[in-house]
Chain A
Amino acid sequence: MKNFTIKVNGTNKNIESTSDKPLLWVLREDLHLTGTKYGCGFGVCGACVIHLNGSPERSCQITIEECHEKEITTIEGLSNNSPHYVQQAWIEENVPQCGYCQCGQIMSATALLDKSPNPTDEEIDEVMGDNYCRCGTYPRIKKAIHRAIQFKKQ
């Protein structure tokens, strides 16, 4: 076991862990931030996406050691009081069904829109194509992203 420090949603956390433990399990089991979901553990589904120093990462694919002294934002820390504009767009389009994949979808979409506020359909496809939804909310996610782009412009 080693000691690591990470800053999660603005708060410093000391974590005692083996160095190889994926950030996903630190968030979920040690910090009880269960909005970051496990879907596959292989980097395939996108349910576990978080922002690491502002960039989207699959938390099942990065170790706690790689996160040492870095800043992490999870869905719980995406916005403080009112919903983030991307969450608001998701609400407008009534996107979720079971909802399990949606935190990962939103974390991917927010990272995309942070980087590229006016993405082309190809860019959206490329990013969101790596987030699976078994309930089939894809058409609504597409609409919600377009709505979020409009929100941002206003």
Chain B
Amino acid sequence: MERRDFIKLSAIYSSGLLILQSVPLYALDADTDTPICFQPHPLLKLCDDGSIIIYVRKQEFGQGLHTSLPMLVAEELDARWKNIRVEKAEFDYEHEKEYVTWASRAIKDLYKPMREAGALAREMLVQAAANKWNIDPSMCKTEKSKVINMASEESIAYKDLISDASELPIPKTPKLKNYKDFKIIGKSKKSLEIDNILSGKTIFSYDFSLPDMAYALVLRCPVHDGTIINYNATKAKNLEGVIDVVEIQPMRKANVEQGVAVVADSFWTAQKAIDLIDVEWDYGPFKGVTSESFMQTLKENVKTKELFVIDEYGNVEANYNESNIKTELHFEYPFLAHAPIEPPSCTATYKNGKYEIWGGYQNPGLASNGLCESFGIERESLQINLLHIGGGFGRRINFDNAAEAMQLAKAIDRPIKLYWSRTDDMKKGAYRPAEAVTLRASIDNYNNLSSWEFRSSGSSWFVDTFGLIEIPNSAHTGYGGFGEEGNLYYPVGHYKSAGFHEPAPVNTSPWRSIGNSRSVNSVECAIDDLAHKAQTDPLEFRLNLLQENGWKSPQKRKDYQPNRLVNVLNQVAEGIGWFKPKKADHYYGIACCPYLGKLSYAAHAFDISVSKDKKITINRVVAAIDCGMVINPDGVLAQMEGAFIWALSAALRGEITLKDGVVQESTFKEYGILRFDEMPPLEIIITDSKEDPGSVGEMGVPSVAPALCNAIFAATGDRITTLPISKSGYELIK
């Protein structure tokens, strides 16, 4: 075969998020069996061996994006699904924003751009075929990676058209399908990476290795922000296999604290050596903090401090005082760990003033900013290679591990693999902020909310972790309730939300569903309490509040559709049998939430039994999600299952406990992650919607805890406002 150079095109094509530069067509050396490929779009390559490679910039850590995003391309391309292969796009600074993978927005953001990539290639292939047949492109149709001549019924496979297609100009505005013609979107697809994952071939950050690599672990102060007074590493250095002991310098912008690193020939040697180092620590300002003392501080803040007012309208005080039916609840939320099964790690090299790292980062652009600033280098001197991530959940926003690895690569002049051990991650990880909330709310004689006041104190990872400017109304802080989410999702004419930031005695970070993991619990338990006080069924009470005519501007965001929240509530109610006669000792609880830009809606209903000694049996749970257009139904199911288990673990017994400033939990066991044998029966209802696609990954979290707490209230009259519920003596039994 002759070598063919496909470097022709220079059209600039721009579409939504994907701002594309001139696109060189792929020129692969054809002397060997290497396929010749045509790359009409940076994220799509069609090869003459029939394979179609889709590059994904978003990070995969279990959300299924490496399947659902290719589905969008394959749909418009009319590709045969079994031709599709997915690859990670190499990180490039030019498109850094597209690599950001958080806030469950990948599908929402890329729904159109990914489809356009497929549509564009399809149009070129059709044109190429039409030219061959000397017919108009409108006389062609496509299916299963083929162009078909509708008149003659001849067909040409895409792989046989790539050479001709590469001669054609890139269409500027490819036409997208009507959803009625979708063949791939909306049909369940299995993970494109499943074979590699199940045979151990997928390379996660922890698995990556380089020749001549040395292994390192870091001894960090058990208390947040502690420093070293002095240390003696003689014994460690003398251990066979230890290469060096290096002090880690603190780097505020990379979230790195002072520490002592052991570089050795193995994780095992490094771990043994760490135990041989004597350090005298200055435990710093958080030395005496316990979980209880910190919660006390937060509660005091709510009571006595002048709070930052996030939003206020009407006259909350007067209306609250005048109401006959009202509630005042005090919520307490603990710090929570992400505890992904893969702990953080990073591999780094340093050569001629340049660093290269390999790891898993949810926001590599943010990481590079922090790293470049910390090391005083330009971006040209830092190459980031992204690897598969063994569970994200917000934990991989942090890049402290990269900074530590880079320091060591420079110090040792050898490739370094920097591991965090399980205990390192449990005890010195980054946690969901704790929060104290006082919520006061009242209703009028028609069961409409007449006042709502949300006062809270907690921490913000923006401020605490990266020293970024505070965004006080951010949903990340949770205080003030909803911040960027818009106001309360139930209508109320008199409203106030206010908060007070307290620096956390640990590192903090976003955690699956961010502040909503707390705010929604506060709201849904308060609503339940008001319903009870109004002697109204809690579902009816919600449905009454959510009626279309209950809203006055500016309370409701334009894109919020309360009727969709009503639908998911009705679905779980029906699923659990809300209005049917209940079996003896069965009690129900319900809760709901809209989410992020209000494009998704979810609800949960629990059926539980509680024994006199507070043992809870979860008989059944029904979950519902309306996330707009569903791309991969099985993927949505998987996310709802996972989110449920995640949220139930946290609600039942999730807590990071501080004693003398030190985290007490060290593995999954003490942290109480739900086990296989504890999984209660769960049914999931997905709404088949034609609305634009919304969020999924975090959607299944917020309404789990309040639905459970409300069920416990129904069963026992015990209004739980402190999470986890184990703190009130309750325990799950099978």
- Chain A interface residues toward B at CB < 8 A: 1, 18, 20-22, 25, 28-29, 32-42, 44-45, 47, 74-76, 78, 83, 87, 90-91, 94-103, 106, 125-126, 128-142
Contact = CB atoms under 8 A, between A and B. Distances in A.
A83 B199 contact: yes
A106 B194 CA distance: 13
Contacts of B190: 91, 94
Interface of B is mostly: loop
A38 B198 contact: no
B341 A101 contact: yes
A45 B195 contact: no
A32 B207 CA distance: 8
A44 B667 contact: yes
A137 B641 contact: yes
A38 B643 CA distance: 23
Interface in B367-389: 388-389
B88 to A, nearest CB: 14
Contacts of B204: 34, 37, 100
11 contacts: A25-B267, A25-B268, A39-B342, A39-B668, A91-B190, A97-B63, A99-B390, A100-B391, A126-B677, A134-B391, A136-B646
Nearest to B642: A136
A129 B675 CA distance: 6
Contacts of A90: 194, 198
A126 B61 CA distance: 28
Contacts of A39: 341-343, 422, 668
Interface in B405-439: 421-422
Contacts of B271: 41
B199 A87 contact: yes
A36 B200 contact: yes
Contacts, number: 180
B388 A99 contact: yes
Q: Which of B63, B240, B339, B642 has the most CB of A within 10 A?
A: B642
Given A38-B267, A45-B422, A134-B668, 18 more contacts: A18-B240, A35-B201, A39-B343, A94-B188, A94-B638, A95-B198, A96-B191, A96-B198, A98-B392, A99-B388, A100-B391, A131-B676, A132-B668, A134-B339, A138-B676, A139-B682, A141-B676, A142-B679
A22 B338 CA distance: 26
A18 B441 CA distance: 65
Interface in B621-658: 634, 638, 641-646
B197 A99 contact: yes
Q: Which of A29, A32, A140 has the most CB of B within 10 A?
A: A29
Contacts of B486: none
Contacts of A106: 198
B673 A134 contact: yes
A32 to B, nearest CB: 7
Contacts of A28: 207
Contact of B390 (A21, A100, A128): A100
B641 A136 contact: yes
B199 A47 contact: no
A137 B191 CA distance: 14
A17 to B, nearest CB: 8
Contacts of B62: 96-99, 135
Contacts of A98: 60-62, 340-342, 388-392
Contact of A32 (B64, B209, B393, B634): B209
Q: Rank and list the top 4 A-B pairs by shortest CB-CB distance, nearest first.
A: A35-B200, A100-B390, A136-B645, A97-B62
A1 B676 contact: no
Q: Which of A42, A74, A100 has the most CB of B within 10 A?
A: A100
Contact of B341 (A22, A35, A37, A140): A37
A43 to B, nearest CB: 9
Interface of A is mostly: loop
A37 B392 CA distance: 17
Contact of A1 (B240, B669, B677, B678): B240
A132 B675 contact: yes
A25 B215 CA distance: 11
B567 interface: no
Nearest to B202: A99
Interface in B122-144: none
A87 B198 contact: yes
A33 B389 CA distance: 18
A71 to B, nearest CB: 18
B340 A100 contact: yes
A128 B677 contact: yes
Q: Which of A25, A137, A138 has the most CB of B within 10 A?
A: A138
Contacts of B638: 94, 97, 137, 140
Given A29-B266, A40-B668, A94-B191, A133 B341 contact: yes
Q: Which of A41, A74, A134, A142 has the most CB of B within 10 A?
A: A134
Q: Which of A38, A87, A91 has the most CB of B within 10 A?
A: A38
A89 to B, nearest CB: 10
A134 B512 CA distance: 12
Contacts of A22: 268
B563 to A, nearest CB: 30
B241 interface: yes
Q: Which of A18, A32, A40, A101 has the most CB of B within 10 A?
A: A40
Given A1-B240, A98-B61, A142-B676, A40 B199 contact: no
Given A37-B206, A37-B342, A99-B62, A136 B644 contact: yes
A42 B676 CA distance: 18
Interface string B210-243: 0000010000000000000000000000001100
Nearest to A88: B198
Contact of A129 (B240, B643, B677): B677
A20 to B, nearest CB: 8
Contact of B422 (A32, A41, A74, A142): A41
Contacts of A99: 62, 193, 197-198, 202, 388, 390
B203 interface: yes
Interface in B661-718: 667-669, 673-679, 682
A40 B422 contact: yes
Contacts of B201: 35, 76
Nearest to B684: A139
Contacts of B266: 21, 25, 29
A24 B439 CA distance: 50
Q: Which of B206, B343, B388, B644 has the most CB of A within 10 A?
A: B206
Nearest to B734: A125
A94 B194 contact: yes
A142 to B, nearest CB: 7
A22 B266 CA distance: 11
Q: Which of A18, A130, A135 has the most CB of B within 10 A?
A: A135
A98 to B, nearest CB: 3
Q: Which of B64, B641, B677, B679 has the most CB of A within 10 A?
A: B677
Contacts of B206: 34, 37-38
Nearest to A108: B676
Contacts of B678: 129
Nearest to A35: B200
Given A25-B266, A29-B266, A103 B642 contact: no
